Structures are given as structure tokens and as C-alpha cells.
RNA sequence: UCCUCCUUAGCUCAGUUGGUUAGAGCACAUGACUGUUAAUCAUGGGGUCCAAGGUUCAAGUCCUUGAGGAGGAGCCA
């Protein structure tokens, strides 16, 4: 959109004015008003266009002809400003824009506009998700989110991976990753029925029952068993009734899959990948991270001293970049937990007893936040608590699973070496009652040129939680989808 | 889905053992003042106390049900 075609003025983003603006130059920019401060001789407008966390200060001389437009300018209004970039007379910024011409592009009734120049609760902002991009916090999260998306593709590209678009609609319901959303074009009131009264899905759009995907892993495996290194990065859907600050019904997941690789290669990849992403954020988003760190610090002040994080956001991120993750087996973890003072003093709600039980959140948190105080990779879980496709160890009891646990977030990565031996896979599928006939294509990859391979899934929004220091997953995605929540 | 807590002005919250006209800060409006930084000062407007039902002479306050929200748990990424 050309706003000033007749004046031949090109719009300059606020970020360029602040970072590379030439003092003395006459420029045009535009954005949304954050605050306006008027006085007898001069008025100040803090203008933001989302290109950077900082605002450009627009200065209006109250004696000038353009001062009359100020009455239409209030928090939330959109304006375009032409003026001279000057060194700032105030102390908050290096440069400012001395306005010579202002166009009000869109007014915002100050009596009704919900965003005030003050701190709003994240819960309130969630209710006005259509406007929350206009806040410092959410625009910072959005810019960091973009940087992470880019860094993910950059990392894999540099490592020789190929991106695969796996299907969003799927007919296989045996991925074992939870409840699925049904996809259907049948009339919900009066669906076609078979002779015995059941809904006749053969009349449905795809001729069978279909759902939204809960994972692209199985398809990614097919690709990896030809392309060697692939990854998916797509939307994922879980119809679980999960009401937590760490779950979404619609989220984005990164799933690399590598052939000629075992569980150790898988862990090496995951760890290198995570540390790369965190380092990327530190290098490319310093302004936004600094703001988010400050926000977190202010938030922590409201907490009890013992609940506060010992490290600030930036320190926490640097710590992950600088320190290797701890790797240990499930069995070793059980021993540590069983011998811990926490267990002996019965501080666990679920005491550690027999080998074989799944770890509770409190156990994972103890390992990560109390015992090791750094990210932990747990491997070789009992096969009973893990999925059918995981490689079975020689002990007959465990599988080559690996979960990466992060402080404050819990499980951020779940992965495994895949079972590549046809007979082992088939036996396990039968034990677990999976429909082997429908999975013929998956099994066939273990018949023709089967090789050891491995992969993992990284929850993108959980990564975002860690990198931004936000506490609720609904605040790191623009339009969160969760039980009873699909507004916007 | 389970447990705990919350819902009072545009926002964030206070509101005593149930008792007369429900308060504060911020925001907003008006004025003053000032190269200001979420400016400051003064004045003012602004309320279906989440909804429905109940107890009571009397309910923002107590009880029941429902709807939202938060934290924790389970499921998991």
C-alpha cells in the first residue's frame, strides 16, 4: 500500500529509523500510537509498528499547523508521520521524529479501546487476542517465534535434511498418541448407516474414517528410509481434554527422522539442535529477550522467595547453550529417586517403589530442577509404558526411548530409535493389539532394505515457553486452541 | 477428567461477624503545568457485584447448580 504516492516518500520501518536512521534526513514512517503526552509547547507520541520492541518518539510542536490533528490521536490510533529525524532532546532515546506532516489513518476511540498504557494481565489479553499483537509482550513473543521457525529450517538445511510435508488428514488411528479429532463430511444429524445401525463411513468423503494427525512420525520414517535425513514441521492435533499451561489441542511439532542412526545419534542430534536454537535466539533476538527477561523478573517479584527462579531468563538460556545435558537411563533415574532425601522423607506424593512405573511430573522435576539442575535426557524406559514402534533392547524389558526434560517445562522432546526388525515389530504390534493389516505400508519398510533409524518430536510451543520465559503455552501461540476455547 | 482457588467500574483489585448511599489505584474526560518517557497535580463521569435458583426481615457477603478463568494432577510434545 502506498500512502504517500503523491509525495514520493517511501515508508521506513521504525526499526530502520532507530537502528540506522540518518539524523537530518526527512523521512516517513507509520504505526500505532502507544501513548501520547501533550503539554503547552510540545506533544510526544510513542509510535510502534511491530518491527522492533522499541517505539519511535514523534515530537509535535504545539505552535505548528499540524497540532490540530492531535485531538484525533490517542492510544491505539494508526498514523503516518513525515518529518525530520533529529537527535533526541530527551534521555529515553537517541533519535526522534520532528513531525512536519501527520495523517491519521485510523482512529481508536479512547473510551472503548481496551489496551491502556499500563500493564495488563495475560489472561485479559487472551480474551482480546485480536489486539494483543499490539502489546510489547506479545509482539516480542511473535518476533522470537518467527526467529525460531526460521532457525529450525536453517539448522536442518545446513545439516543436509529435507523437509517433508506429512498429511494433516490421516486414516491411521494407531499412532497411539492420544485422542483424535474426527474429519468427516457426513451429515451429523442423520448420517448414513450400515445394516446393523453403525455410522457408514464408507459413504464418507474418503471412504473411511479419517482424523486430524497426531504425529507425522510414521510418514517421516518412510521418507527417511530413502532420503536418510528428513524433518517435518507442521500442525498437530490432540483431542485430549487437557487443561494445563503446557498443552494445546492444536500445536506445532518438529519431527526429524534419521536413517543409519541409533539412539545415541538421536540424542546427539536433539541436544545439538536445542542448543543451536537457544543460541540463535540469544544472538538474533537480544532486544526482545531483554524485554521478556525484565517482564519475567517483575512477575517473579510477586512470587514467594522460595518459588522464584534462581536464574534470570538470559542466564537460563546461556546455561543451556554452555552445558551438556545429563544422560541417564530410566533404571538409573529410579535408583536416584529411590535413594533421594525427598523419597526418604516422603515428600513425593507418589513414592518411588517398584521398577516399571511411569515417572510422575514431580519425579521429573526433582531430577531436572533439584538433583542435576540442568536438562536431562532419560533413556531405555520399560517397554510397557512406551509406544509399539520403539526398538527393543536385548534385556527384553526396555526399549530405546529417550525423553528430554527441561526445567520448568518438563518433557520438551520425546523420541526413540525405531524398531527396524520386522519380526520384533510385528510381534509387539500383535501383543498390543494394533491393526497390522492397516499398517501394511509401515511394516513393509522393515521388509525391504530396513535399516536402523531414529527420530524425535519437539513441541514447538514448549520450546517457545522455554526461550521466552512465558508461563502459559496459550501465550506463545497467536490463536490458541484448547478445550472450550476456539475463539478468533 | 480430578483437586484447589477465583469471577465486584474499561483494567488490576479491596470490600469486616450478612445491615443504610459498594470503594481504591490505573485508564477515560476537563483544566493546570511541564522536553515528556506507562509524565505530574486537581476536578469529574463511570457498577445488571458472572448466571439461575435458594436461605433470611435483610445477600457483593451464606447454600445449591451452571458458565468462564487460574494453579496443580493425569494424558503428552
CATH code of residue A68: 2.40.50.140
Q: Give domain status of residue A165, yes or no.
A: yes
A404 and A298 fall within a common domain: yes
Specify the pLDDT at position A305: 67
Q: Is the residue at A488 inside a domain? A: no
How is the beta sheet containing A182-183 ordered, strand by strand? A169-170, A210-212, A182-183
In 3D space, the residue among A433, A396, A434 whose CA is nearest the CA of residue A218 turns out to be: A434
A39 and A157 fall within a common domain: no
Smallest CA–C1' distance to B28, residue: A111
Residue A423's contacts (CB-CB under 8 Å, 6 or more residues apart) are none
A161 and A250 together in one domain:
yes
Q: Do A172 and A88 sit in the same domain of this protein?
A: no
A126 Cβ nearer than 7 Å to chain B strand? yes
| Mean pLDDT score across all residues of chain A | 92
A15 occurs within a structural domain: yes
> Which stretches of chain A score pLDDT less than 70?
1-8, 173-178, 304-307
Report CA(A29)–C1'(B34) in Å, whole number.
Answer: 28
Cβ-based neighbours of A138, under 8 Å, separated by 6 or more: A125, A132, A475
pLDDT of residue A1: 45
Which has the closest alpha carbon to A220: A174, A258, A251, A253?
A258
Nucleotide B74: closest residue by CA–C1': A242
Residue A243, nucleotide of least CA–C1' distance: B1
CB atoms within 10 A of CB A4: 15
Measured CA to C1', what is the nucleotide nearest A252?
A: B77
Q: Is the CB of A107 under 7 A from strand B?
A: no
The spacing between the Cα labelled CA in A244 and the C1' in B17, in angstroms, equals 38
The residue whose grid cell reads 538433583 is A371
C-alpha closest to that of A79 among A132, A24, A26, A28: A28
CATH number reported for the structural domain that contains residue A423 in this entry = 3.30.930.10
Query: Domain total for chain A?
Result: 2
The A 454-483 residues near strand B by Cβ under 7 Å are 457-459, 461-462, 471-474, 483
Would you state the pLDDT for residue A175?
Answer: 56
Question: Same domain, yes or no, for A98 and A6?
Answer: yes
Specify if A481 maps to a domain.
Answer: no
Q: Is the CB of A420 under 7 A from strand B?
A: no
Residues A218 and A89 in one domain: no
A234 has which bridge partners? A253
Quick: pLDDT tens for A120-142: 999 999 999 999 999 999 999 99
Q: How far is the CA of A109 from the C1' of B45 (A)?
A: 17
Would residue A191 count as lying in a domain?
no
Tell me how far CA of residue A133 lies from CA of A24, A49, A53, A477, A479, in angstroms: 32, 10, 11, 11, 11
Q: How far is the CA of A341 from the C1' of B51 (A)?
A: 49
From the Cβ of A446, is strand B under 7 Å away? no
> Closest nt to A36 (CA→C1')?
B36
**Contact between residue A269 and residue A256 where contact means Cβ atoms under 8 Å apart:** yes
Residue A93: what pLDDT? 82
Q: Are residues A160 and A308 in the same domain?
A: yes
Got the DSSP string for A80-138?
EEEEEEEE-SSSS-SEEEEEEEEEEEE---TTT----SS---HHHHHHTTTTGGGSHHH
pLDDT tens profile A241-269: 999 999 999 999 999 999 999 999 999 99
Q: What is the ipTM of this complex?
A: 0.90
Distance A460 CA to B26 C1' (A): 36
Range of the domain at A140: 133-179+214-475
Q: Is residue A43 part of a domain?
A: yes
CA distance A230 to A165: 10
Q: What is the pLDDT of residues A85-117, one digit of tens each?
A: 998 877 778 899 999 999 999 999 988 899 988
Note whether residue A124 is domain-resident.
Answer: no
- Based on DSSP, count helices (H) and strands (E) in chain A, helices before strands: 13, 16
**A101 and A153 share a domain?**
no
Of A147, A457, A461, A467, the residue nearest A278 (C-alpha):
A467
Does residue A200 sit within a domain?
A: no
Q: Are residues A23 and A163 in the same domain?
A: no
Q: Are residues A245 and A378 in the same domain?
A: yes
Among the listed residues A249, A276, A253, the one whose alpha carbon sits nearest the alpha carbon of residue A154: A276
What is the reported pTM?
A: 0.94
Is the same domain home to A230 and A329? yes
CA distance A195 to A52: 63
Q: Is the domain of A280 the same as that of A149?
A: yes
Which residues lie below 8 Å from residue A350, measured CB to CB, with a gap of 6+? Answer: A360, A362, A363
Using a 10 angstrom Cβ sphere, with 0-12 exposed, 13-18 middle and 19 or more buried, the burial of residue A379 is buried
Task: Name the β-bridge partners of A482.
Answer: A485
**How far is the CA of A186 from the CAs of A180, A432, A476, in angstroms?**
17, 31, 35
Amino acid at each position: 500500500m502506498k500512502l504517500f504516492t503523491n509525495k514520493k516518500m517511501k515508508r521506513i520501518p521504525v526499526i530502520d529509523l532507530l537502528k540506522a536512521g540518518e539524523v537530518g534526513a526527512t523521512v516517513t514512517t507509520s504505526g500505532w500510537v502507544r501513548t501520547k503526552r501533550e503539554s503547552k509547547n510540545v506533544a510526544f507520541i510513542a509510535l510502534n509498528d511491530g518491527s522492533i520492541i522499541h517505539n519511535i518518539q514523534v515530537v509535535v510542536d504545539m505552535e505548528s499547523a499540524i497540532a490540530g490533528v492531535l485531538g484525533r490521536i490517542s492510544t491505539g490510533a494508526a498514523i503516518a508521520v513525515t518529518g525530520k529525524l533529529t537527535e533526541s532532546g530527551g534521555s529515553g532515546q537517541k533519535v526522534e521524529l520532528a513531525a512536519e506532516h501527520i495523517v491519521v489513518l485510523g482512529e481508536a476511540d479512547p473510551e472503548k479501546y481496551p489496551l491502556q498504557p499500563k500493564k495488563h494481565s495475560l489472561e485479559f489479553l487472551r480474551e482480546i487476542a485480536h489486539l494483543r499483537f499490539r502489546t510489547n509482550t506479545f509482539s516480542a513473543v511473535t518476533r522470537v517465534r518467527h526467529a525460531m521457525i526460521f532457525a529450525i529450517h536453517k539448522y536442518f538445511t545446513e545439516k543436509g535434511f529435507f523437509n517433508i510435508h506429512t498429511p494433516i488428514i490421516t486414516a491411521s488411528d494407531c499412532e497411539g498418541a492420544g485422542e483424535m479429532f474426527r474429519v468427516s463430511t457426513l451429515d451429523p444429524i442423520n448420517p448414513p448407516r450400515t445394516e446393523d445401525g453403525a455410522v457408514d463411513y464408507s459413504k464418507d468423503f474418503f471412504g473411511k474414517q479419517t482424523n486430524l494427525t497426531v504425529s507425522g512420525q510414521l510418514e517421516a520414517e518412510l521418507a527417511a528410509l530413502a532420503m536418510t535425513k528428513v524433518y517435518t514441521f507442521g500442525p498437530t492435533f490432540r483431542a485430549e481434554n487437557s487443561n494445563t499451561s503446557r498443552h494445546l489441542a492444536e500445536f506445532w511439532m518438529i519431527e526429524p527422522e534419521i536413517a543409519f542412526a541409533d539412539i545415541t545419534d538421536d540424542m546427539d542430534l536433539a541436544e545439538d539442535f536445542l542448543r543451536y536454537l537457544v543460541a540463535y535466539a540469544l544472538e538474533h533476538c537480544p532486544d526482545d529477550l531483554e524485554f521478556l527477561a525484565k517482564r519475567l523478573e517483575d512477575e517473579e517479584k510477586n512470587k514467594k522467595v522460595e518459588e522464584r527462579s534462581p536464574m534470570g531468563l538470559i542466564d537460563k538460556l546461556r546455561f543451556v547453550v554452555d552445558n551438556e545435558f545429563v544422560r541417564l537411563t530410566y533404571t538409573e533415574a529410579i535408583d536416584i529417586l529411590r535413594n533421594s532425601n525427598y523419597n526418604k522423607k516422603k515428600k513425593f506424593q507418589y513414592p518411588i517403589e517398584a521398577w516399571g512405573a511411569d515417572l510422575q511430573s514431580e519425579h521429573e522435576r526433582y531430577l531436572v530442577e533439584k538433583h542435576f539442575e540442568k536438562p536431562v535426557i532419560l533413556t531405555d524406559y520399560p517397554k510397557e509404558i512406551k509406544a509399539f514402534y520403539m526398538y527393543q533392547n536385548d534385556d527384553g524389558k526396555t526399549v530405546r526411548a529417550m525423553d528430554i526434560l527441561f526445567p520448568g517445562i518438563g518433557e520438551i522432546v520425546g523420541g526413540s530409535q525405531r524398531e527396524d526388525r520386522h519380526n520384533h515389530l510385528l510381534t509387539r504390534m500383535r501383543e498390543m493389539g494394533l491393526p497390522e493389516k492397516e499398517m501394511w505400508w509401515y511394516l513393509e519398510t522393515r521388509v525391504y532394505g530396513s535399516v536402523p533409524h531414529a527420530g524425535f518430536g519437539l513441541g514447538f510451543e514448549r520450546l517457545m515457553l522455554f526461550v521466552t520465559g512465558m508461563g502459559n503455552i496459550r501465550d506463545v501461540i497467536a490463536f490458541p486452541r484448547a478445550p472450550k476455547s476456539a475463539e478468533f
